[in-house]
Amino acid sequence: MRMVLMNGEFIPREQAKVDIEDRGYQFGDGIYEVIRVYNGKMFMAKEHLERLSASSEKIGIAISYSISELTTLLEELIAKNSLSTGIIYMQFTRGVSPRNHSYPTEAVTPTFVAYTKMLNRPLDNLENGVSTITVEDIRWSRCDIKSLNLLGNVMAKQKATEADCYESIQYRELSVTEGSSSNIWIVNGEKIQTHEANQFILNGITRQKIIQLCGENGIEVEEKAFSIEDLIDADEVFLSSTTSEVTPIVSVNNVPVKEGKVGEMTKKLQNLFVEAIISECGQISN
């Protein structure tokens, strides 16, 4: 039976219900995380839970669980669902309260939900790359918060889907910010570049791992916004996220990136990333 974690209790999936006046349901008033599971073990759980805690502080939701308590609960959730390769989705909302835009004045317990999903590594995309389009970034200016309010991201992803593409690359004025659900990188020669971690992007955990791996392997990284022109002219382009890892981008707006082949630096980073997974989670199967 599929078990989910709801407010600290493990219950069957069918019994997990949300109140119509939950603020997450009505306002998107909450935060979430997606954590990768390889070989039954979470990858970079501490970093994800620290970002969750940072997001909760930014919007004033008090999480009553410590990071180590959450880790134990999530490990139990993986075990109860016998998950090997997949993800954990988890969210906290501000809780249930009569509808009113301002935060409730009375004490409200946040609603906490977590569940697992089987999800293989995207081997075909990792090997052959994906196509993308560019779209204007219409989102708010606190994209650093991993908020449940994803309408801007959802609309951007839908444009990609309608264009038969995997991802939308968003731009604000002349600068590329990030994908609808990923961070975007360019490579020129031996140097890689991605938008700085400010309020216009989510500071991806995969992004942070790539920067760390580059530091350890003498690869130069510049954290600075680049333009659409830079994107089109780059030697290589790739995206990063928990579910997509280091995915090569082989075309932007129907124009191939260089010859439309996966670049050498992207392959090198993919290998370093897989080594990092194996050293934390053990040998991975697919």
Give the interface with ligand PDD as residue ranges (CB under 6 A): 34, 153, 178, 181-183, 202, 204-207, 240-243
Nearer to ligand PDD, 205 or 265 (CB): 205
Nearer to ligand PDD, 243 or 251 (CB): 243
**For 113, phi and psi rounded to 5 degrees?**
-130, 135
Which residue number is nearest to ligand PDD in terms of Cβ? 204
How far CA 78 is from CA of 34, 83, 115, 147, in Å, comes to 14, 5, 9, 24
Nearer to ligand PDD, 125 or 241 (CB): 241
Residue 107 beta carbon to ligand PDD: minimum distance, rounded to whole angstroms: 30
41 is catalytic: no
CA–CA dist 77, 61 (Å, integer): 23
- Residue ranges of the alpha helices (H) in the chain? 23-27, 45-59, 67-80, 123-128, 151-162, 205-216, 228-233, 264-281
Nearer to ligand PDD, 131 or 183 (CB): 183
Nearer to ligand PDD, 88 or 96 (CB): 88
Tokens encoding 247 = 């995915």
CA–CA dist 28, 19 (Å, integer): 13
Residue 202 beta carbon to ligand PDD: minimum distance, rounded to whole angstroms: 4
Cβ atoms 247, 122 nearer than 8 A? yes
DSSP state of 164: T
Residue 282 beta carbon to ligand PDD: minimum distance, rounded to whole angstroms: 21
Angle 45-59/67-80 helices, nearest 10 degrees? 120
Cβ atoms 22, 41 nearer than 8 A? no
Tokens encoding 201 = 């992007």
Residue 234 beta carbon to ligand PDD: minimum distance, rounded to whole angstroms: 19
Say how many C-beta atoms besides its own lie within 10 A of residue 65's C-beta.
Answer: 16
Residue 97 beta carbon to ligand PDD: minimum distance, rounded to whole angstroms: 26
Nearer to ligand PDD, 132 or 206 (CB): 206
CA–CA dist 199, 142 (Å, integer): 5
CA–CA dist 147, 256 (Å, integer): 33
Cβ atoms 143, 193 nearer than 8 A? no
Which of 17, 41, 80, 146 is the catalytic position? 146
Residue 241 beta carbon to ligand PDD: minimum distance, rounded to whole angstroms: 4
Tokens 């409200």: give the residue. Answer: 108
Active-site amino acid positions? 146
